[in-house]
């Protein structure tokens, strides 16, 4: 298979390589990460599973494998894929990396799924922080778990039930006390896993 890489994909692979400690990602890992960033999730899985065999202690591989499983979980094997996503996400965190989730962030508060003032980014659950990575540096942020009051759904019913928020105890460096997100899949599978990880690693329980 010939891989077509967009500039964003090439940058993502370069950033993944730069996180390694004196080690270079294998070709299988680079190809798998490129496919994840091109949203070819099912095609990415065999590359990243091979890469895991070659480099079993590499957090970047587990991070992207978790993403591939998570966003390939749309068919009859959804339950199996979600289980694998959870395992890979935890391996990524335990290896010193993060579990990543693709989200739309509302820049003006969320009242409807049709809100237009949004940006796409990655919400990262790490052992010692929650990080939001975006194309605009002025909207990215990093929060330590002790700053977080809760992570929960904005509503438990209706079409917007997958929309969720991160509520802080006090305003952060951006002057924010609440961040609203919509999962890229428009389903509960991302926030459900994210909240599981927050409970496990930060002892953050839903109210």
Q: What is the per-residue pLDDT across 48-75, written as a single tens digit (0 to 9) for each?
A: 999 999 999 999 999 999 999 999 999 8
- Residue 24 maps to a domain: yes
Question: Which of 62, 96, 130 represents a domain boundary (last residue)?
Answer: 96
User: Residue 127 domain-assigned?
Assistant: yes
CATH of residue 135: 2.30.29.30
Residue 1 lies in a domain: no
Q: Of the candidates 30, 65, 96, which is a domain's last residue? A: 96
Pair 62, 52: CB distance under 8 Å? yes
Q: For residue 111, what are the domain limits?
A: 99-202
Q: What is the pLDDT of residues 10-34, one digit of tens each?
A: 334 444 443 444 369 999 999 999 9
User: Same domain for 31 and 70?
Assistant: yes
Where residue 6 falls among pLDDT bands split at 50, 70, 90?
very low
Q: Within this chain, do residues 91 and 105 fall inside the same structural domain, yes or no?
A: no
Work out the average pLDDT over 189-200.
96
- pLDDT tens digits, 161-185: 788 999 999 999 889 999 999 999 9
Predicted TM-score (pTM) of this structure: 0.85
Which of 48, 76, 96 is the C-terminal boundary of a domain?
96
Helix ranges (H only) for the chain are 7-18, 27-37, 41-54, 59-72, 78-94, 189-202
């Amino acid at each position: 298979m010939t891989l077509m890489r967009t500039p964003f994909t090439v940058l993502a692979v370069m950033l993944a390589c730069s996180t390694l400690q004196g080690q270079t990602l294998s070709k299988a890992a680079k190809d798998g990460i490129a496919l994840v960033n091109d949203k070819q999730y099912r095609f990415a899985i065999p590359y990243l599973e091979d890469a895991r065999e070659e480099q079993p202690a590499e957090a970047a591989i587990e991070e992207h494998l978790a993403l591939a499983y998570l966003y390939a979980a749309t068919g009859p094997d959804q339950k199996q894929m979600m289980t694998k996503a959870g395992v890979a996400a935890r391996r990524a965190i335990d290896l010193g990396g993060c579990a990543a989730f693709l989200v739309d962030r509302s820049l003006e508060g969320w009242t409807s799924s049709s809100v237009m003032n949004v940006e796409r980014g990655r919400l990262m659950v790490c052992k010692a922080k929650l990080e939001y990575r975006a194309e605009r540096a002025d909207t990215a942020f990093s929060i330590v778990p002790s700053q977080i009051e809760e992570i929960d759904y904005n509503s438990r019913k209706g079409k917007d039930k997958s929309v969720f928020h991160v509520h802080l105890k006090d305003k952060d460096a951006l002057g924010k006390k609440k961040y609203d997100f919509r999962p890229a899949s428009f389903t509960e599978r991302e926030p459900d896993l994210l909240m599981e990880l927050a409970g496990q690693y930060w002892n953050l329980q839903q109210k």
